[in-house]
Structures are given as C-alpha cells and as structure tokens.
A and B are shown apart, each in its own frame.
Chain A
Amino acid sequence: MVVDNDHDLVDSLCEWIGLSSDWTAVPAYGPADAIAQAGMSPPDIILLDMEMPGADGFETAERLERASGDKHSAILALTGNADLRDAALHDARFTASILKPADPGLLLVLLSSLVPKH
C-alpha cells in the first residue's frame, strides 16, 4: 500500500510497482483512507509519507500497525524531510526509511527483500 496525500506520487508509485513486479500496489490518499484499508485487508508492506496534513507520521505508523493486526505489515517511511528520514531510521515502528525522491530501481530491490515468499 502506498500512502501519501500527493495523488500524483501515489499513482506513480503504484503504477511503477504494478509494471515492474508481480505485486499489487493499492493507493491510499491520506491517513484515514490508509487506516481503513489496512483494517480491511492488511498489506505486506506500507510505504508511508511522513508529512501528511493533520497527521503525525509516527502516530499514523502506530495506528496502521494496530489496524493491520496479526499481519504485522512492514512500514517504510517515505519523506522529503531529511530530519524526519533520520528520526524514522531510529524508530522501531519503521522497517526502513527513505528520502524522496526514492530511486525506483532501488525501491524494487528493497521491496523484494521485504515481501514474504509465498
């Protein structure tokens, strides 16, 4: 699941993941949308923007973790703010932390290391 309030970025990332892998990426255009979707069908991996309006990234991560229940979705911080990137690196709620712009090729490598083998 790709979570960002920027529609174009969410759509770009979902499209790229869909084209270049056999995974399904679902868009979420805001924290509420993301939490609702994670509750219904928890994703393997959540790419989470850290600076959505009216939401703290760390708090959103915690709520997503709770919403995903036993699935324990891996949460990746994705942010344009270098300080937040560093803060998320040292935060146990995040599996990884990436500074925008994420290199699309490297992102795939990272995702494939995290996707559970079926």
Chain B
Amino acid sequence: MGLSDFITLESEKIMAEFEAFAMQQLPAAADMDVAALRDHARQVLAAVALDMLQPQTKREEREKSLGHATKADGAGVHAAEIHGAMRAASGFDVNQTAAEYRALRASVIRLWMESGPKLGRDEVFELVRFNEAMDEALAASILHFASEAARMRNLFLGVLSHELRTPLSTIMTSGHSLVLAAQQNKPLPAAAERVLRGSRRIQSLLDDLLDYVRSGLGEGMRVSPKDVDMGQVCGKIVAELRANNPGRVIELETLGDPKCVCDEERIAQAISNLVGNALKYGPADAPVKARIDGSAIDQISVSVQNGGPPIPEATRESLFEPLVRGANTEREGYNLGLGLYIVREIALAHGGSASVESDAQAGTVFTVRLPRTASDAASAAFPGLRMN
C-alpha cells in the first residue's frame, strides 16, 4: 500500500502509537487533555496525507525542500500553525513541540514499514514527499510557537509593570507626604501603613514572578519535604486570613490523619493561595470551607470551597495557566494571574495534583492532592516528583 493511503486508512493505529510515545516523552502532556493532543496530531496527519496527494512539479518539490512552500498547497502548514500556537499556550517548550512531530513521523514510518510495502521508485518518492510535508509543517508550527510565546511574554510584562506601578505610586506619594508631615512635626500613621502595604504587595508579586520564572525554565519547583502536620499548617493560615478578613467566615475541618511528608512552606503557600482566592472570588456573605482529608493511607488532600455562581466548564482548566485571572476582580487584591499556576506547580513538585470542580449546588472546590510520603509518590508512579 502507498504511504498516503496507509496514513488515511490506518490513522487509528498511528494515533494510538503516537499517543503512547507522546505521553511518555512529553511532561507537559501529562496535564493535557488526551483528546486535545490526539485531535491535533490527527489534523496535522490528515493534512500531510492530503498534501502528499497534490500533484507536485519538480520546481515545487525543490521550493518545498528549501522551506518556501506556498500557502495554497499547504493544508499541513495551516494545521501546523494552529498546532504551534496551541502548544505555546499549553506550556509546551519548543523541544516538546518539535518532539511531537518526531513522534508522529516515527510512528507513521515504523507502522508503514511493518505493513511490508514493496519499496519501488514510487514508494521512495512518496516517502520523500511525506518527509517534506512533515518538515514544512514542523517549521510552520515552530514559527507560530515562537510568535505565540512572544505575545504571551509581552502580555505578561505589561501586566507585571501595571501591577507594580500602582503600589509603587502609593509608596512614592505617601513617602512624599510623610516627609512633608515630618517637617511640620505631624505624624501620618495611615500613610506609613500604606507604604508598608504597598511594599508587601510588590514583594509578593516579585515572589510569584520568581516562582514562575524558575518553574518555567523546565526545572519545575524545588521542594524540601519534611514531616508535617497538615492540621497545624492549615490552622495557621486560616487564623491569619481570619484576622485579615474580619466579617468573613472561614471554616476548617479535618478528617482522618493530618500527618504527611511535604515542604511545609510551599504547601502553606499553595493553601494560602487557595483560601485567598476563595475569599476574593466567593460572595462575601458565604463561608469559605477548607477541609483536610487524611482518611486514605497513601494520600492526603486539602480542598477549599466557596459559594457563588459556578465557573463555566470551558474555562476551568485554563485557570491553572499562568496569566489567567478570574472574572471578579472588583475587590482589593492584585495578582499576576499566577496564584493557581503556582498551586499546581507546588502540587506537581510533590508528585501530587491540583484540580477544580464547580457546580451550582456545591459551589467551586479547589483540591490539592499529595502522596502522604515521598515513597508513596514513587510507588504511585507520580512522574513529576522533584526533590532536593
């Protein structure tokens, strides 16, 4: 059977092989919808098969080998452009994006060779066409990956400078007022408080930014696990947030054994982000409910629930992406849209996971699940465990 016919007829088999390879090779694919991964590879492949069937003159062949394909003959190019932009948005790096093409090419050629085609002049010619179409698609995908990544970087820098400039304004203005008031021997305690609050805000933005940059370098977040009582960790956070949010009700309940092995500071950061979000996005008159569930032997989870309208299903997963912010930002509190991204990075670094569920009855619940100990993480085959 010719290669293009083979691709069309055996696409299911190729997809199964490709998926197995992709899941194994691509860490970012672990967080990704399998359907999304498959759908796009299928489109790229279908377009490549179509591309191969187009009549091609000698000149076009040469142009293509030089990377000058025209838009008109490249259905594969279009599918690949979308692919590149999508991968940039899903947190893939450029190597992983290219690896998908390698996987696809390897799967196709291996399975085709296994099917025992007679290798005459036409078959070799088809193989050349296939490789050219794949190269073209890969180049288009990488180009769009790069421009999407640049767009996101600019967006991020814009948000960053905006979020820093407002507290900086407060600090500058209140500082000038304090100097003027001191000359008149007048204390201005409110201005001093604003300077401190503004500085803390800038500090927390910079901390988030550092976590983001570090985790974005492919290293992931580093954690130093120790014996920790999750009940104490959550108790401290809840007490602090209650003090800072008078009038709000924050409940804390513990089921089972709250002891586990984790990086206390990082886990506290994650839970504090979740409870802070629940206070910010949930209605002011509804309680925020935090719950530690240690009833399972090999894992422990912390969930934080708030009331209010459910988050539409389509936008739920993207909440964990960097730079995504919830719709209700009416109330005080600034962020770079990194809070939930950092929560998930912390969970992944422990070999755990972070998820969200939302419906009209139960409200919105964010849950962090952690293996109870590092050996639980290893035995449960959590691939993301990264420890110092």
Contact = CB atoms under 8 A, between A and B. Distances in A.
B190 A53 contact: no
A20 B330 contact: no
Interface residues of A, number: 28
Given A12-B191, A13-B173, A20-B180, A54 B330 contact: yes
B158 interface: yes
A102 B164 CA distance: 13
B316 interface: no
B232 interface: no
B165 A105 contact: no
Contacts, number: 82
Given A53-B330, A80-B165, A81-B158, A103 B172 contact: yes
Given A15-B190, A20-B180, A53-B330, A6 B158 contact: no
Interface in B142-189: 158, 161-174, 176-177, 180-181, 188
Given A16-B176, A100-B168, A8 B194 contact: yes
Interface string B190-223: 1100100110000000000000000000000000
Looking at A5, A12, A54, the one whose CB has the most chain B CB atoms below 10 A away is: A12
A11 B176 contact: no
A114 interface: no
A44 interface: no
Nearest to A18: B177
A83 B166 CA distance: 16
Contacts of B170: 6, 8-9, 12
B329 interface: yes
A105 B176 contact: yes
A99 B165 contact: yes
Interface residues of B, number: 28
30 contacts: A6-B166, A6-B170, A6-B332, A8-B167, A8-B170, A8-B194, A8-B197, A8-B198, A9-B167, A9-B169, A9-B170, A12-B169, A12-B177, A13-B173, A15-B173, A15-B174, A15-B188, A16-B174, A16-B177, A19-B177, A53-B329, A53-B330, A79-B162, A81-B158, A81-B161, A83-B158, A100-B168, A101-B171, A103-B172, A104-B176
Nearest to A5: B330
A72 interface: no
Contacts of A83: 158
Contact of B173 (A7, A16, A54, A82): A16
A101 B180 contact: no
A20 B170 CA distance: 16
Contacts of A79: 162
A81 B177 contact: no
B368 to A, nearest CB: 28
Contacts of B194: 8, 11-12
